[in-house]
Structure formats: structure tokens, C-alpha cells
Amino acid sequence: MSQTKGLEGVVATTSSVSSIIDDVLTYQGYHIDDLAEKSSFEEVVYLLWNGQLPNKEELQSFSQQLVENMEVPEEIFNYMKAYPIADVHPMAALRTAVSQLGLYDAEADASDIETAKRIAVKLQAKIATVVTGFARIREGKEPVAPKKDLSFAANFLYMLNGEQPNETATDAFNKALVLHADHELNASTFTARVCVATLSDFYSGITAAIGALKGPLHGGANERVMGMLSEIDTPENVDSYIQDMFDKKEKVMGFGHRVYKNGDPRAKHLREMSKKLADITGEDKWYEMSLAVEKKVTDSKGLLPNVDFYSASMYHSLGIDHDLFTPIFAVSRVSGWNAHILEQYSDNRLIRPRAEYVGPDKRSYVPLEER
């Protein structure tokens, strides 16, 4: 029996949701560059779930469905207020809250496609409110209700800060959501599909995916990038800091990718938005440090930045707490998880791979009294 460590290069399923071919990322056949530059996040979510871009009427209806489903049961926020706030990472809070949301949905256990699509809308809408609500509760503030006349991206920033964001901030956040929406069969997406392939419920699938995303080798990487930049502190310290990491054989987070050989195509868009926000805020040291780190790592190791690297300085420029970076990843990626769960339900087969046994062989049982 042949095996590949980490399933690298193994094709585990067929999917029409997204593709990575020759270092080109597409959603349902649309190039990521076109979607990042031209589409709203709502359009991209509709595309991922329906296989086509919406017309004006479809987009208006879908956007309205999302905003109308953003409110969460008050009990969820009451539970959050009982969490040991000082010790709870927002990803742990999100994982718990999404699981709890299933308790308040009478349709939670259904797996027929029409009901599943309604659940997908609920989860896509409510996850933004859960993340922003927790962020405010731990600061001793009350959650902010969404505004029905704001886009998904603008509503997230509004619910987080209690102030309507400017156009540049909204555009930057919208672009980040688009770029993180799906990425073929990554770890969290595979986890979601494995979970619902047992015909477990939608909420379990998303909860499982959040658990996988929480790890620093997946969604947690951008938070660790910002931690590194904070320790470096000034562009002048970059060379010695990164060289010290090289000498200690430590991994520089935000560089390299198992799938892309010539660079992550999403990184350039986030680099551009990081620069734009740095110019507006006047805090350009984070962008300058990022550029310096990129040059050092690329020149020394030949590694190129991935989507996590510049998303860190971009989110920081938006005034977002560093430990919220991964939950924001989830706010976007739930769109892809939902698409893959819908695809799995529509043509399901239990996912049950084999393992190559490498343990001891042909052992003889020794009675207890003789051991």
C-alpha cells in the first residue's frame, strides 16, 4: 500500500468550487484577480454556492437574506459573558458559539439541499456577528446590531467598532474576504467534508472546520506573522531578527505554500491594500517591515509570501486586534466551507481512507501472569 505523508499531492475528491492549476486560483472558473478587483464578497459567496455570478436582482435578494440573518440569539452573547474572558482565544470562543448556534436552529439536523442552503445563509451571516460580538464583550462593551443598508464587509467593521467605516477600509476588508473565501481542499475544508460525509449536521461540519483552522499551520499563521512584526518593531531590526530565526532553524510564518511553487497569487492584492492603508493611517512602519522581511526571506531562502503575510499588516492597519485575525479568516472561509458541504451532501460517499500499518507484526500473546 503506497502512502504520502500529509496526503501531499493526493487527489481525494472532485469539486467545482475552486481550483489551483499552474499557480492560478479560480472560483468556479473565475480568475481570483478579476474577483478581487471587481466583485463584492456577496457576489463571491453567491458564486461559490450556485456556480454562477448573480444578476442585479439575485444579488440584491441574496444580500438582503444575509443581512436579515445576521442577528444571533441573545443567549449566545450571554454564554460569552460567562466565558473566562481573560484566558479564551477568540477562535475557541467562535468554535463554541457556532456549535451553540445549532441548538437554536430547528432545521439543524436536516441534510436535504434546500434546507442546507438556508442553514448556509444563517451561518454565513451570523458568524460575523459572533466574532464582533465576542470582541466587544471581552472589552466590556455590548454587541452592536447590524445595519440593513450596509454591505457584509462594512457591517463587520461597523459591528466591531460601532462606527461606520470609510470607503477605503470597507474596500480593503471586502478584498480580504474575497481572497480568503475558498482554497480548494485545504485542511479545514477537508475536515468539514469528512465530518458531513458521515451525514452529520451542517453546524458540526463548520465547527469541525473552525477547529482545523485554529491551528498555527493553517489559519493561525497571520496572527503569528503580526506577533513577529511586533517583536521586530522597526525596519532596521529586520535583518538581524530574521537571520537569528534562520540560525535557529525557526519557521518564518507567512512564507511558502505546499500548493504554489511560484508564489501565492493572493499575496499581491493584500500587499497593495496594506500599502494603501499604511499611507492613509500614517503608520507605514508595519508595511515597511513587511517589505523588508519579504526581501530577506526571498533573497535568502527563495520563499515567497503567502496570503497570511500581508493580511497581518493590513488587518493591523484597520485597527483590528491581532488575535481576531484568524476568526476573520473564518468569517470569509465559511463561504467556501458551506460550498463544499453543499457539494458533499449533493453527492455523498463516506470518506474513509486507509492507513499503512508500520507497527510490530506477528506478536504472540503472553498471559498476564507471565509478563
**Alpha-carbon gap, residue 27 to 19, rounded angstroms:** 7
Handedness of CA 280, 286, 289, 295 (dihedral sign): negative
Task: With H, G, I as helix, E, B as strand and everything else as coil, classify residue 30.
Answer: strand
Apex 141 CA angle, 140 and 143, nearest 5: 135
Nearest to 72 by CA among 144, 137, 126: 126
From 105, 201, 284, 308, the catalytic residue: 308
Provide CB contacts within 8 A for 284, sequence distance 6+.
278
Give the containing element (helix H, strand E) for 26: strand 24-27
The answer to whether residue 308 is catalytic is: yes
Please report, for residues 252, 255, 280, 293, the alpha-carbon distance to residue 249 in angstroms, rounded to integers and kept in the order given. Answer: 9, 14, 37, 16
Task: With H, G, I as helix, E, B as strand and everything else as coil, classify residue 72.
Answer: coil
Phi, psi for 202 (deg, rounded to 5): -55, -45
The answer to whether residue 89 is catalytic is: no
DSSP states of 211-242: HHHTSTTTTTHHHHHHHHHHHH-SGGGHHHHH
DSSP states of 300-328: HH---B-HHHHHHHHHHHTT--GGGHHHH
From 257, 269, 316, 340, the catalytic residue: 257
Cell numbers standing for residue 220: 493561525
Give the containing element (helix H, strand E) for 20: strand 18-21
Q: Please name the residue that has the C-alpha cell 507484526.
A: 361
**Alpha-carbon gap, residue 45 to 177, rounded angstroms:** 10
Which one-letter DSSP state was computed for residue 143?
-
Identity of the residue numbered 167: E
Residues with a known catalytic role: 257, 308
